[in-house]
């Protein structure tokens, strides 16, 4: 083991001690100090620990923690002094730094694998110079050895579940991120398919100054995510939400490439007249599904919208493990209806109504791990990208029309997705026909119907807001709980059948799904 590896091992030991202390303590003041210490250690280690810290930042923001120390890993983690990275720049260019730049900021913006300096070239162009940390490749491989749990079976998940595939997927992704030449090509590719629009701004690459360890782009500035959250008006936020969703869907489905690292340090935002723009930096980590996966996912969403096709072969085409998926085949239609709900309603969708984790947990029950591990390793990057976009849309807090944003993708892909080839094998019972379509409520008094209501079946998840206070009091007097009633409906996969019935004071109340 090299001296550098030994030093990194010692720092990992300190990182582990901080993490254990954070997990064990219940004193919030102590937890706050430990978080600060943990973030400092992650920032100094750079590489994989800093990437993990950036993911933890998303979790802290989603939980709306009053103090989010992990945010510094996205915006202002500790950079290296310019004199340390100067040799990397000069080796890449073959010239002294002063021959290339007229001025360069000493203080950089740190990332996980490199740092960015704002500079002015000798010809007057203002640029962003992204330079890789010296020795970061060796540090990454040391990190993966320290995180050996990625290749060790966990509990009873070893049957049919290859954790080493996840370890290899992470390693392959990091290897690609360490090649700035590849990132430059991706940046140019994404810039080409965004030039026709006005929303996404991808800084143009300066190829003659870009190498495997240095990436130079035009300088594009904007407001931080925190500025958007605290100062932008509702109209601008709604335009931003629509733009982000459309950019995500069209990039994924029409161009087969999507940024998988949506932490706030990679984004800036601008208002230009009545329009809004999103500036996207750092395309080192992207999700690039093959054609079959891209078509299968689009067709699965469309099948869920229409209820006209079994999700089973489409999930297998996406790379799900058949052996792990088969025991929960009957739950897949209701699961898809929840997973794709924002894309399946004919109105602007409020993400506050989704309650994704709660509802998926109720539907899957003890099968939730089967579903999680049944997916192929590369889907981790799709989920990382999706949850990144979902976080911003939730924080913007403005309902938008998801189904309408998906329509151009479905229209463009309908003919090619019909060409998908599936195995000629009888699938298990797994169709959307098993799902109820309507939620019904009927009130009868004195032998005649006084109230009869029909709503979409999905309304059952908001039963508490549908029923009036008098009816909820009647339910409570019968010893029933609405959350348990709804949980039972989810566990039976939203199948048609009774929800509850009451008979009280010459009044019959019946609620059912059909």
Q: What is the pLDDT of residues 204-256, one digit of tens each?
A: 999 999 999 999 999 999 999 999 999 999 999 999 999 999 999 999 999 99
Q: What is the CA radius of gyration of the chain?
A: 26
What does the pLDDT read at residue 70?
42
**pLDDT category of residue 77 using cuts at 50, 70 and 90:** low
Nearest residue to 318 (alpha-carbon basis) of 304, 299, 343:
299
What does the pLDDT read at residue 141?
64
- Whole-prediction pTM: 0.81
Q: What is the pLDDT of residues 303-315, one digit of tens each?
A: 999 999 999 999 9
Total residues found in the chain within this entry = 514
HSE of 484, CA atoms in CB hemisphere, 13 A: 6
Number of CB atoms found within 10 A of residue 427's CB? 16
- Pairwise CA distance, residues 299 & 312, whole Å: 12
**pLDDT category of residue 197 using cuts at 50, 70 and 90:** confident
Q: What is the pLDDT of residues 149-191, one digit of tens each?
A: 444 433 444 444 556 776 677 778 878 888 999 999 999 999 9
Q: Collapsing DSSP states into helix, strand and coil, what is residue 423? A: coil
Q: What is the pLDDT of residues 383-395, one digit of tens each?
A: 889 988 999 999 9
What does the pLDDT read at residue 473?
84
- Pairwise CA distance, residues 52 & 42, whole Å: 8
């Amino acid at each position: 083991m090299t001296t550098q590896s030994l030093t990194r091992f010692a720092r990992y030991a300190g990182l582990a001690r901080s993490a254990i202390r954070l997990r064990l303590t219940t004193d919030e003041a102590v937890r706050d100090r430990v978080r600060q210490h943990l973030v400092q250690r992650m920032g100094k280690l750079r590489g994989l620990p800093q990437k993990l810290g950036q993911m933890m930042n998303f979790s802290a923001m989603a939980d709306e923690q009053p103090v989010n120390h992990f945010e510094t890993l996205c915006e202002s983690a500790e950079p290296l002094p310019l004199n340390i990275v100067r040799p990397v720049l000069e080796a890449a260019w073959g010239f002294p730094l002063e021959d290339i730049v007229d001025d360069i900021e000493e203080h950089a913006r740190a990332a996980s694998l490199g740092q960015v300096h704002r500079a002015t070239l000798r010809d007057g162009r203002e640029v962003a110079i992204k330079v890789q940390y010296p020795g970061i490749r060796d540090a990454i491989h040391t990190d993966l050895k320290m995180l050996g749990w990625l290749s060790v079976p966990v509990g009873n998940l070893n049957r049919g579940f290859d954790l080493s595939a996840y370890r290899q997927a992470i390693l392959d992704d990091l290897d690609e991120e360490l090649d700035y030449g590849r990132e430059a090509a991706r940046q140019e590719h994404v810039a080409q398919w965004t030039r026709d629009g006005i929303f996404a701004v991808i800084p143009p690459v300066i190829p003659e100054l870009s190498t495997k360890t240095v990436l130079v782009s035009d300088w594009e500035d904007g407001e931080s995510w925190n500025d958007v959250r605290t100062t932008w008006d509702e109209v601008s936020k709604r335009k931003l939400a629509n733009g982000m969703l459309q950019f995500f869907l069209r990039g994924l489905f029409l161009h087969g490439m999507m940024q998988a690292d949506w932490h706030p340090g990679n984004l800036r935002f601008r208002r230009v007249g009545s329009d809004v723009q999103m500036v996207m930096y750092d395309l080192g980590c992207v999700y690039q599904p093959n054609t079959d996966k891209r078509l299968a996912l689009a067709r699965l969403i469309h099948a869920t919208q229409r209820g006209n096709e079994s999700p089973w072969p489409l999930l297998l085409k996406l790379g799900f493990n058949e052996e792990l998926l088969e025991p929960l085949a009957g739950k897949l239609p209701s699961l898809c209806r929840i997973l794709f709900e924002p894309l399946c309603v004919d109105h602007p969708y409020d993400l506050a109504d989704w309650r994704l984790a709660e509802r998926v947990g109720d539907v899957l029950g003890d099968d939730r791990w089967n579903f999680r591990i049944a997916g192929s390793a590369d889907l981790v990057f799709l989920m990382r990208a999706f949850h990144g976009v979902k976080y911003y849309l939730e924080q913007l807090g403005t309902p938008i029309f998801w189904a309408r944003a998906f329509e151009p993708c479905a229209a463009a892909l309908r003919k090619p997705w019909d060409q998908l080839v599936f195995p000629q094998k009888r699938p298990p019972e797994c169709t959307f026909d098993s799902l109820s379509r309507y939620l019904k409520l009927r009130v009868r008094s004195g032998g005649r119907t006084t109230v009869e209501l029909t709503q979409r079946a999905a309304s059952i998840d908001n039963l508490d807001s549908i029923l009036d206070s008098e009816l909820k009091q009647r339910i409570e007097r019968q010893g029933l709980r609405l959350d348990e009633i709804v949980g039972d409906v989810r566990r039976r996969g939203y199948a048609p059948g009774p929800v509850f019935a009451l008979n009280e004071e010459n009044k019959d109340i019946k609620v059912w799904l059909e």
